[in-house]
Amino acid sequence: MTDPVRQGSISRRALLAGLTGLGTWAVLPESGSDAQPRRPAALLPRAVPNPTASLHLAATDGWVSMPQGSPPISPFWPDPLAPAGSDLYVFGFRDVTGLSATEVTGQRGKAQITAPLLGFDQETDIKIKLTNLGLSQRPDLVDGHTVHWHGFRNAIPLFDGVPELSISVPIGREFTYFYRPHDAGTYMYHCHFEDVEHVQMGMTGIVYVRPAQNSGTADVPPGRYVYNDGDGSTRYDREFALMLTEVWAEAHYRDAHIQTTDWTDYKPSFFAFNGRCYPDTLAPNGDPLSQAAGRLRYQPISSLITANAGERVLLRLANLGYRNHTLTVDGVDLLVVGKDAALLRGRDGSAEYQVTSTVQIGPGESRDVILTAPEPGTYLLYDRDLTSLANAGGGRGGQLTEIRISPPGTLPAQTRANA
Amino acid sequence: MAAIPFRIPRPRPGRLVLPLLVLALVAVSIVRFGGYAAARPGYAVPHDGQLEAALGVRFTQAAVVGDGGLVELRYLVLDTQKASAFQNDTKHPPRLRNERSGKLAWRAALMKQGHELRPGQSYYLLYLNNGGAVRRGDTIEITSGQRRLAHVPVR
Amino acid sequence: MLPADLGRWKRLSAVPLAAAVVAVLVVPGPDRVAASPPAGLECRTAADNAFDLTATGGYAAMPDGNTIYMWSYASGGGEFQLPGPTLCVTSGTKVTVVLHNSLPEPTSITFPGQAQVLADGRPAQPETDAAGTLTSLTTTAAANSGAVTYTFTAGPPGTYLYQSGTDVQKQVQMGLYGALVVRPAGHPDRENDRADSAFDPDHEYLYLLGEIDPDLHLAVERRRAYDFTRYKARYFTINGRSMPDTIAPNHAEWLPAQPYGALIHIRPYDPVGNPKPALIRYLNAGSVAYPFHPHGSDEQLIARDGRPAQGPAGQDLSFSNFLIDVSPGQTVDTLMIWKDAEHWDPQGNPIPVPLPSLQDQIVGPGPETWFAENPYLGGTPGELPPGVVQNNQCGEYYHVAHSHALEQATNYGASFGGMMTLIRIDPPAGCPA
Ligand SMILES: [Cu+2]
Ligand SMILES: [Cu+2]
């Protein structure tokens, strides 16, 4: 929450305003959990319009692939209905920005997991159009879909994506969501239509907000920061987002085979980073529009972390499974700077950063964690819960990926997250 | 038991005092200390066999919730297929008409609670109580298509 | 009774009976409920902080029509209720809780977070059987009408569970739990002694989270054995209720044994008109962590287990959350506001994307409905764009708040139920009744 009483660093904030907005309040957060002083609530003219970002998402079903060679879970996995090269039925989002209407319709039945990774600048006017393409495997279902920006502060119900309290998008229709984020950090988004089902089926992704501070203030030079920290302490060189999910293969099978599921029987069989289980987590980023992408075509987001020694690496961690998970990196200290899209700093400015070797993340939580890349080599990032380190109960797998560190200067500057 | 040395016949009206006092004690205790269970008069929604046969559901409760902003309509599923059709027929969601004032609560959030409605289980609809259309203690008429169920008490 | 006795009985009874009627009318009970707000935390207080609890059986109603046999507490000779009454005391005062046991087995109450609890005047102690096996975490009241009196000095201000300490796995799951609220001396409008824990006393809420495996309850009701390795919770509750009963008023008549609602009802933050946050007290009486997710607003975690989030020098170590992950046995207190961040207004500051027309709303297939046609908080019909209809009471908003272990946000698997409630936000001027 954003507390009404906030003290300290007013001058800093005022300077930030002066630098970036020439005194207009359009660039200032209305509500800052970033340990910033708060602008009094008032209706002032917006002197400079915010930049706008438009995005088009499509929601549909599809087929993906869990690691080959995992022990079968008869009869649920591999799903006998799955097209060649795939083995698991899912629901998911696709980024169809810029595609023609025909091309968009052509993505029906081609969902991806996890959902596209979204990043926006603070104080951007964001318009996300959601088109419901229907479910190709289940034409009998009339399920709507929604976008719920999980954690968005001071939301109004219309854009909150809870169908029971506002709307969902019927099949063949579209709806445009509007967001003006004032609070930097790592959030997530997911469909909220029959959420226990649609979230489990794969309609989950990470969305993050870059702080206004990135354009520089009197105290910190322009750069890449996690939060409006005022002191540069959340600066990073490379960022990697990991969406933690679980796959209950039985429920996915039942959805494909027109059977019902008692969700209180929940018993996950696969544990994923960005919709992939180790060793698939290491494969490079893919593109669902590219035939060449192969077996992981509809799981396009890589979890391989690369950096040069000495660089500061930001991990944006979010959990949309239904179980707690605890991540660790062998031999590397982790600096936790944010939780739930809020800088870890008390209302009086007291530091709450935490140095640790394990980070526990509950369902629906996020963490921003910075590590300093150690000596060149390969380091493992994985779930401390060892049952989450298996694929369908067998062998090594699950929520595990590698951090590969190169000598200084080897890798060029990162151009986008998870690359 | 020991004998009673001073048994005195009492005038007739006095005979009523004790039962009345006992009744009064019970009554004020209920009011004061709030027994909520058996003390309440029975709540019953009228049954209509034809409506139940047509819709596959039996309405069991209309209640004002959400601090007066919402109306909950609860129903028991009798027939899975018919109940699913009822639940998915959003072109004709049931309407709630206040029999006292004539006001309507009609904007339902149709809670789709699972793909299959299990017979014998209860599910619910929530309505916006627009303009305070329905209040506790009113009776309403539930209209679903051509079917109607009158005198449903609201609690 | 002999007829001969009757007359005397009558004669002797009439006066005290009449007095009793008067007494019931005018004298508060040994402990009492200060007020009975339709929503919000309802305190049970006692002038001398002496409370009477009877461990007993009763029935809780689930929204899907199931009725569950529970064990919980009745207060002061009143009715069985789940959870037990919310006991409110002031830090540093002496508290007495007399536990009467009407259950067929020994039971007890532990007060986690309270120091030096006495049972019948002696330090409360774990109990063992003749073989030395632990049978209770603390001093018991014997089965079938035993009693024990616990006394302690109320500890640091905050939120605490009280719960059975005997056969915990079964008895706590059966419902033998309640909330103990310790208020800071002199500052009933603060969560703890810190000034920055101040909240609006009219907006204090209880989220006592729990779960139910109906098979266990059936086994206890029928006095059959139960295999705990088969334990599987199917119902997930806030204050003993599941959605939609969580949004029913306190003391809803259809929930006779579940008196506490969980609806949050606030107005937007305003530095002048509504400056104080709401306080939410989370308690976990279940067997797993409950990751609780309020929509529409984040919450500031200011205390855990009756201890403020502060450093050794009094630094504020509270933090902001959109997910409050409450561990079993833990309590968490949060401050919460909702701010009208954009002040959308159809004339001066309209929502910059097209609003679906009324036509769409009516013909939309499936459960695609417009619950809040009006996206403008408090907007009146005259102010709305053409085609947008006001269908809620006064332009209020509703947000959902629920467990994000989403199988817990179901009624035995049916979605939009279980551990879920609503946050209602009225326009700044309030909502006319
Ligand atoms: Cu969906
Ligand atoms: Cu969520």
Query: Is the pLDDT assigned to residue A87 strictly greater than 90?
Result: yes
Report helix, strand or coil for A304.
coil
The whole-angstrom separation of Cα B147 and Cα A29 is 53
Residue C55: its pLDDT value, please? 97
Tell me if C358 is assigned to some domain: no
The whole-angstrom separation of Cα A57 and Cα C19 is 73
C416 or C199: which carries more pLDDT confidence? Answer: C199
Residue A46: its pLDDT value, please? 53
Query: Is the pLDDT assigned to residue C5 strictly greater than 50?
Result: no
C323 or A49: which carries more pLDDT confidence? Answer: C323
- At C356, the pLDDT band (50, 70, 90 cuts) reads low
User: Which pair of tokens denotes residue A384?
Assistant: 């401390």
- Out of C307, C336, C365, a domain closes at C336
Is B101 found in the same domain as B68? yes
Is B37 found in the same domain as B58? no
Neighbours of B137 (CB within 10 A): 10
Tell me if A8 is assigned to some domain: no
Q: The CATH number of the domain where A300 resides is what?
A: 2.60.40.420
Q: Report, as an integer, the average pLDDT of A257-276.
A: 95
Pairs of residues, one from chain A and one from chain C, whose beta carbons lie less than 8 Å apart: 237
Distance from CA of B45 to the nearest CA of C (A): 13
DSSP string, B32-82: HHT--STTSPP--PPP-HHHHHHHSEEEEEEEEEGGGTEEEEEEEES-HHH
Ligand nearest to the CA of C292: 2
Structural domain harbouring B86 = 49-153
Q: Which of B111, B114, B115 sits opposite A164 (nearest CB)?
A: B111
Ligand nearest to the CA of A203: 1
Assess contact for C363 and C387: CB atoms under 8 A. no
Which residue of chain B comes nearest to C369, CA vs CA?
Answer: B109
Tell me if B145 is assigned to some domain: yes
Strand partners, A127: A54, A178
Q: Report, as an integer, the average pLDDT of A74-95.
A: 97
Which residues make Cβ contacts (< 8 Å) with residue A292, sequence separation at least 6?
Answer: none
Assess contact for A167 and A175: CB atoms under 8 A. yes
Q: Report, as an integer, the average pLDDT of C192-210.
A: 97
Ligand nearest to the CA of B112: 1
Q: Which chain C residues are within 8 Å of A362, Cβ to Cβ? A: 289, 291, 323, 325, 404
Distance from CA of B118 to the nearest CA of C (A): 9
Neighbours of A145 (CB within 10 A): 32
Neighbours of C119 (CB within 10 A): 20
Tell me if B4 is assigned to some domain: no
Q: Do A176 and C353 touch (CB under 8 A)?
A: yes
Residue A21: its pLDDT value, please? 28
- Out of C165, C189, C213, a domain closes at C189
Tell me if A9 is assigned to some domain: no
- Whether cis (ω within 30° of 0) applies to the bond prior to A80 is no
Is C179 found in the same domain as C91? yes
Which range is most confident: B3-7, B128-132, C6-10, C194-198? Answer: C194-198
- At C386, the pLDDT band (50, 70, 90 cuts) reads low
Which residue of chain B comes nearest to A168, CA vs CA?
Answer: B109
Is C182 found in the same domain as C43? yes
Q: Does C168 touch chain A (CB under 8 A)?
A: no
Nearest to A113 by CA among A143, A89, A97: A89
Q: Report, as an integer, the average pLDDT of C392-397.
A: 82
For A293-352, write each residue's pLDDT tens digit: 789 999 999 999 999 999 999 999 999 999 999 999 999 999 999 999 999 999 999 999
Ligand nearest to the CA of A143: 1
Tell me if C425 is assigned to some domain: no
- Whether cis (ω within 30° of 0) applies to the bond prior to C331 is no
Distance from CA of C254 to the nearest CA of A (A): 23
- Angle of helix C3-26 relative to helix B12-33, nearest 10 degrees, comes to 40
Tell me if B79 is assigned to some domain: yes
DSSP string, A171-211: TT-EEEEEE---S-EEEEEE--TTHHHHHHTT-EEEEEEE-
> Does the predicted interface ipTM exceed a cut of 0.85?
yes
The whole-angstrom separation of Cα C315 and Cα C308 is 10
Return the minimum-mean-pLDDT range out of A349-363, B25-39, C154-168: B25-39
Which residue of chain C comes nearest to A324, CA vs CA?
Answer: C289
Tell me if A115 is assigned to some domain: yes
Residue A25: its pLDDT value, please? 24
Q: Report, as an integer, the average pLDDT of C63-79.
A: 93
Is B68 found in the same domain as B34? no
Query: Is the pLDDT assigned to residue B24 strictly greater than 60?
Result: no
Assess contact for A274 and A307: CB atoms under 8 A. no
Is C288 found in the same domain as C239? yes
The number of distinct structural domains making up chain A is 1
Return the minimum-mean-pLDDT range out of A169-183, B36-50, C80-94, C390-404: B36-50
Is B54 found in the same domain as B99? yes
Tell me if A35 is assigned to some domain: no
Residue B144: its pLDDT value, please? 86
Q: Find how far residue C81's CA is from the centre of its chain.
A: 12
Is B112 found in the same domain as B53? yes
Q: Which of C335, C368, C415 sits opposite A196 (nearest CB)?
A: C415
Q: Do B111 and A260 touch (CB under 8 A)?
A: no
Q: The CATH number of the domain where B106 resides is what?
A: 2.60.40
Assess contact for A318 and A241: CB atoms under 8 A. yes
Tell me if A415 is assigned to some domain: no
Structural domain harbouring A205 = 52-406
Q: Tell me how far apart the terminal alpha carbons of chain B are, to the nearest angstrom.
A: 50
The whole-angstrom separation of Cα A247 and Cα A275 is 9
Residue B90: its pLDDT value, please? 65
Tell me if C79 is assigned to some domain: yes
Q: Which of C269, C349, C361 sits opposite A4 (nearest CB)?
A: C269
Residue A12: its pLDDT value, please? 35
Q: Do A322 and C407 touch (CB under 8 A)?
A: yes
Phi-psi region of C366 (alpha: psi -120 to 50; beta: other; left: phi over 0): left
Q: Do A165 and B114 touch (CB under 8 A)?
A: no
Is B149 found in the same domain as B125? yes
- At B112, the pLDDT band (50, 70, 90 cuts) reads low
Tell me if A166 is assigned to some domain: yes
The whole-angstrom separation of Cα A288 and Cα A134 is 18
Query: Is the pLDDT assigned to residue C357 strictly greater than 90?
Result: no
Among residues of chain B, what percentage have pLDDT more than 90?
43
Long-range contacts of C311-319 (CB under 8 A, 24+ apart): C311/A350, C314/C194, C315/A346, C315/A348, C315/A350, C316/A346, C316/A347, C316/A348, C316/A350, C316/C194, C316/C196, C317/A346, C317/A350, C317/A352, C318/A346, C318/A347, C318/C196, C319/A339, C319/A342, C319/A344, C319/A345, C319/A346, C319/A352
Q: Report, as an integer, the average pLDDT of C249-278.
A: 96
* Torsion sign, CA atoms C361, C367, C368, C374: positive
Q: The CATH number of the domain where C56 resides is what?
A: 2.60.40.420
Query: Is the pLDDT assigned to residue A23 strictly greater than 70?
Result: no
Residue A112: its pLDDT value, please? 97
C-alpha dihedral, A391 to A394 to A400 to A403, nearest 10°: -120
For A219-234, write each residue's pLDDT tens digit: 999 999 999 999 999 9
The number of distinct structural domains making up chain C is 2
Is B144 found in the same domain as B112? yes
Amino acid identity at B71: V
Residue C4: its pLDDT value, please? 43
Residue B103: its pLDDT value, please? 86
- At C18, the pLDDT band (50, 70, 90 cuts) reads low
Residue C414: its pLDDT value, please? 87
Q: Which chain B residues are within 8 Å of A260, Cβ to Cβ? A: 114-116
Question: Does an H or E element contain C4, and which?
Answer: helix C3-26
The whole-angstrom separation of Cα C219 and Cα C217 is 5
Q: Does C123 touch chain A (CB under 8 A)?
A: no
Question: Residue A172 Cα, ligand 1 centroid: separation in angstroms?
Answer: 13
The whole-angstrom separation of Cα A47 and Cα C418 is 47
Structural domain harbouring C284 = 228-336
Report helix, strand or coil for A378.
strand
Distance from CA of A187 to the nearest CA of B (A): 27
The whole-angstrom separation of Cα A366 and Cα A185 is 9
Which residue of chain C comes nearest to A156, CA vs CA?
Answer: C296
Q: Edge to edge, what strands does the sheet with B139-144 contain?
A: B104-105, B95-98, B139-144, B147-153
Residue A159: its pLDDT value, please? 92
Tell me if C412 is assigned to some domain: no
Tell me if C376 is assigned to some domain: no
Q: Do B132 and C363 touch (CB under 8 A)?
A: no
Tell me if C283 is assigned to some domain: yes
Q: Report, as an integer, the average pLDDT of A138-158.
A: 92
Is C183 found in the same domain as C36? yes
Pairs of residues, one from chain A and one from chain B, whose beta carbons lie less than 8 Å apart: 12
Nearest to A30 by CA among A142, A153, A146: A153
